[in-house]
Amino acid sequence: MTPGARFQEAVALLEAIASSDRPADGTVSAFVRARRYMGAKDRRAVTTLAWGVLRHRARLTWHVEARRGTPTPRTLALASLLLVDGQAPAAVRALFDARGRTPHEPPPLSSAEGALIDALAGRTLADPAQPLAVRLEIPAWLPDRLAPVWGDDTEAELAALLPEAPLDLRVNTLKADRDTAVAALAAEGIATIPGTLSPWALRAEGRPNVAASAAFQQGLVEVQDEGSQLIALLTEAGPGMAVLDLCAGAGGKTLALAAAMENKGTLVATDVSAGRLERARTRLHRAGVHNVTRRVLDAETGRWLKRRKGSFDRVLVDAPCSGTGTWRRNPDARWRLTPAQVESLCAEQAGVLARAADLVRPGGRLVYATCSLLPEENEGQITAFLAAHPDYRPHPAPDGQPWHRFTPARHGTDGFFVAVLDRIVP
């Protein structure tokens, strides 16, 4: 494909993302699968430009509007080539020289687009005139929500959500120790360094295709952010315990819990989505896990759980949440979230917590976790829960706080909140 054709495909991809309710990564995967004529280099160029626009959308939009342009997928892609990639105006104009001589070429530049290219020449993405929310690529309503948590560090914490997230792996201790996994990956040209917080963590250098490696396919490692691994560690599940992963999803934390339990004991993974649990089945098989029972959270499972009140040593609630802590990985999600959605999620979280409370045995632990930065989804939920459940008390973090908070700025992880709650023995 020519550079112009790649540009046109990137614009088409951005249009597909804008018109879909799906997360961008799912739309990107479907888009690429449907275009078998694109080679590996073409796919990389197309998706890199599209992700660049999504990651810098607010600042690119600001620049286009400041030059009296209309922000569309095409004008934002043009602005990204100039402001993010640093291409010269002549190189950008050259993308449109084919004039339809080959398939998939972009339509010629309009006079307004040509003027936009000229107006952006020599400029940089950052501009002192940009408002705070534009500089930080966040909805304007968000900073005030986070200021009570971070105070003077709010801007630095939000700025840490801008760069692309690193690729973290979790060593599956059912099949390998960390040194063995490092050596197996290195033999396939994948360089890693040990994590600093989780004893299971490895951080890959660059963006290797780990899923194609023998180490991954044989179940030695799984892709999992180091902060997510810490949630499983803080659950402190051990061999022989009865453990419930109440919102298991596709099983990332279930896998980590099973490894911590050494495949001994009972681990039940439930979720409202049968599809997510089915994806977990493949991962569990690859990892060599055999102490997990998967159950869809339907009416039958609800009755089954009622019969097991007070029977679990550990209950993990990895609650449905806004996902604000994962915006490094999901930049499009910044613009899908609304205050009304947060309010709805908070109601759902409170309901899941209340359901989980009865399932923990006296002397056991309830672990509540989100990948959210918002206090109403985190300490607000725990404060309300403890007020309504006097038979629970916080298990303090090492720094004496009643909960744990991990952020990209402070820990190099995605943003996570974890509260470990002990159920008091009567």
- Spatial distance between the Cα atoms of 290 and 267, rounded to a whole number of angstroms: 9
Could you tell me which residues come within 8 angstroms of residue 171 by beta carbon, excluding any fewer than 6 positions away?
Answer: 177, 178, 181, 200, 201, 202, 220, 221
Whether 139 maps to a domain, the answer reads: no
- Spatial distance between the Cα atoms of 235 and 313, rounded to a whole number of angstroms: 10
Q: What is the CATH number of the domain that holds 67?
A: 1.10.940
What is the DSSP track for 76-115?
HHHHHHHHTS---HHHHHHTT-STTSSTTPPPPPPHHHHH
Same domain, 234 and 185: no
Residue 304's pLDDT is what?
93
Determine whether the annotation assigns residue 152 to a binding site.
no
Residue 239's pLDDT is what?
97
SS3 state at 268: strand
Domains in the chain, number: 3
Residue 100's pLDDT is what?
55
Same domain, 108 and 231: no
Domain boundary among 184, 200, 223: 223
81: buried, middle or exposed (CB in 10 Å: 19+, 13-18, 0-12)? buried
SS3 state at 157: helix
Determine whether the annotation assigns residue 144 to a binding site.
no
- Spatial distance between the Cα atoms of 117 and 202, rounded to a whole number of angstroms: 43
SS3 state at 222: strand
Same domain, 234 and 347: yes
Same domain, 177 and 42: no
Residue 416's pLDDT is what?
97
Whether 280 maps to a domain, the answer reads: yes
Domain boundary among 179, 198, 223: 223
Same domain, 213 and 242: no
Residue 72's pLDDT is what?
97
Alpha carbon distances (Å) from 105 to 12, 16, 118 = 12, 18, 22
Same domain, 264 and 400: yes
Residue 426's pLDDT is what?
81
Same domain, 290 and 366: yes
- Spatial distance between the Cα atoms of 101 and 105, rounded to a whole number of angstroms: 8
Amino acid (1-letter code) at residue 81: L
Whether 267 maps to a domain, the answer reads: yes
Q: What is the CATH number of the domain that holds 181?
A: 3.30.70.1170
Reply yes or no on whether 346 is catalytic: no
Determine whether the annotation assigns residue 271 to a binding site.
yes
Whether 140 maps to a domain, the answer reads: no
Q: Residue 334 in contact with residue 308, Cβ under 8 Å? A: no
Same domain, 200 and 255: no
Same domain, 246 and 345: yes
Q: What is the CATH number of the domain that holds 291?
A: 3.40.50.150
Tokens linked to 318 = 């990895």
Active-site residue identified among 247, 321, 346, 371:
371
Residue 101's pLDDT is what?
63
Same domain, 192 and 329: no
Same domain, 328 and 411: yes
Report, as ranges of residue numbers, the positions in the chain whose pLDDT lies below 50: none
Q: Which domain holds residue 340?
A: 227-423
Whether 158 maps to a domain, the answer reads: no
Same domain, 402 and 292: yes
